[in-house]
Structure 1
Amino acid sequence: MTDVPERMPLNRDFFDRPVVDVAPDLLGRTLVRHTPDGPIELRLTEVEAYDGEGDPGSHAYRGRTERNAAMFGPPGHAYVYFIYGMWFSLNAVCGPEGRASGVLLRAGEILSGAHLAAARRPKARSAHELAKGPARLATALAIDRTLDGTDLCRGGDAPLTLLHGTPPTPDRVCNGPRTGVGGDGAHHPWRYWIDGDPTVSPYRRHVPRRRATSAT
């Protein structure tokens, strides 16, 4: 079997698989973001799998909406959503068209364009913190809803592309519960990360929100 060049974009078939197979296989891949100010490249170090309508933790659990429509589209496209009225998060759509599933790109190491990422993340205390968490990753790479549905396999000067990169050896891939997921989906061990990498975000269990109560 011949080695695949690191700079070759991942093809559509890579994403057209069960999401729990794609997710760990995304570790070590290179995400390229072309911005008006120049390119930024990131090595993925942490991801989470969400299995669509069969997964209580997924945005597609209750079916298709205007917000999550990209998850039901062809594999190998971006699903970008806005959360808590403040942050964007980037996902790679997986599986066959019409069956929503996706991988949340949680964290990574900035390989190039660090000055561009740092300008968008001025509160980062080190290079390791530039994309340490899904909201930080999206902020550092200037990702917002305008990129929802973007083809991740196109390559060239496309806004977003996932390249083959250099996957870690299997002994360095860890997995466990997803961060902040509660209810029936809390215990799915579908968070994957590269062992010992300083850009991996800390695990946080789900904490139910309390409703405000009026004084009596």
Structure 2
Amino acid sequence: MTLCASLSLDPVSVARRLLGARLVAGDGDGGEVAARIVEVEAYGSDPAGLWPDPAAHAYPGPTPRAKIMFGPAGRLYVYRSMGLHFCANVVCGPDGAAGAVLLRAGEITAGRNVVAARRAGVLDEDRWAKGPGNLCKALGLALEDNGRDLADPESSVRIALGEPAPDEQIASGPRVGISKAVDRPWRFWLRESQAVSAYRPGARRKQFVRSEKIER
């Protein structure tokens, strides 16, 4: 199965398939960095789509920011989060059906000297690409990478799928930092990796937890 065909499936299936994939970014002239993806989150569509998901950027429809989520599969969707850092997603699903998988964490496998400079002061390599913002910083991904074709061998950002991770190596749980559809177990990670980020609930879940403690 080709890369595009593998990514033209539902977000949950693609999220699981991306675990263990190799993401490469750079010009191949001393600045290339590669990471093994170890944590991801699936995001769905607008209400009229195949996988309605209130937490997805695509939920309001094909807005200027989110229109890339409507296809084709295999494009890179990069956005700025809270004005602080960038987040990278792999667009998935059939063309016209919104879906994407957020790349949450990775293990650096090539370009360590480049990443060490980009993540100056972070001595623990497991933390270099732990969390979506750190992953983008480690690989040098920014808004100008939005729309890159990950299947194009000439692209400055590419992804290669390895063998699917066995089910027993994959864990799942709620997505991080959202306030809608908070209980969907659409975050997936490789159990053995030390680079998986910490779980942080969204605002609505935090409020519920505080209320629950008060009632007790």
Question: Which residue type is aligned with residue 187 of structure 2?
Answer: R
Identity of aligned residues (%): 38
State the Cα distance separating 1:168 from its structure 2 match: 2.8
Which consecutive unaligned segments of at least 5 residues does structure 2 have?
47-51, 208-216
Q: Which residue of 1 is the match for residue 3 of structure 2?
A: 11
State the Cα distance separating 1:169 from its structure 2 match: 2.3
Deviation readout 1:95-130 (Å, 9 max, x if unpaired): 011111100000010001011112111132311000
Q: Indicate the SS of the match to 1:52.
A: coil
Does 2:32 align with 1:39?
Answer: yes
1:75-154 alignment to 2 at 5 Å? 75-154=73-152
State the Cα distance separating 1:73 from its structure 2 match: 2.4
Does 2:42 align with 1:49?
Answer: yes
Q: Which has the higher helix share?
A: 2
Distance 2:162 2:10 in 1: 21
Q: Which residue of 2 is the match for residue 163 of structure 1?
A: 160
Distance 2:200 2:157 in 1: 28
Distance 2:109 2:118 in 1: 16
2:40–2:101 contact (8 Å) kept in structure 1: yes
Which consecutive unaligned segments of at least 5 residues does structure 1 have?
5-9, 211-216
Q: Indicate the SS of the match to 1:71.
A: helix
Deviation readout 1:21-40 (Å, 9 max, x if unpaired): 11011000100112464210
2:87–2:102 contact (8 Å) kept in structure 1: yes
Does 2:193 align with 1:201?
Answer: no
Distance 1:169 1:63 in 2: 35
TM score, norm. by length of structure 2: 0.87
Does 2:179 align with 1:172?
Answer: no
Distance 1:102 1:128 in 2: 25
Question: Which residue type is aligned with residue 23 of structure 2?
Answer: L
Distance 1:32 1:104 in 2: 16
Q: Indicate the SS of the match to 2:5.
A: helix
C-alpha RMSD over aligned residues: 1.8
Does 2:12 align with 1:20?
Answer: yes
Question: Which residue type is aligned with residue 11 of structure 1?
Answer: L
Distance 1:32 1:165 in 2: 13
TM score, norm. by length of structure 1: 0.87
Question: Which residue type is aligned with residue 178 of structure 2?
Answer: V
Deviation readout 1:142-195 (Å, 9 max, x if unpaired): 10111111001112x421111123443221100010011223x10010000000
Distance 2:200 2:123 in 1: 21
**Displacement over 4 Å in runs of 4+:** none
2:108–2:129 contact (8 Å) kept in structure 1: yes
Residue correspondences, number: 200
Q: Which residue of 2 is the match for residue 214 of structure 1?
A: none
Question: Which residue type is aligned with residue 78 of structure 2?
Answer: V
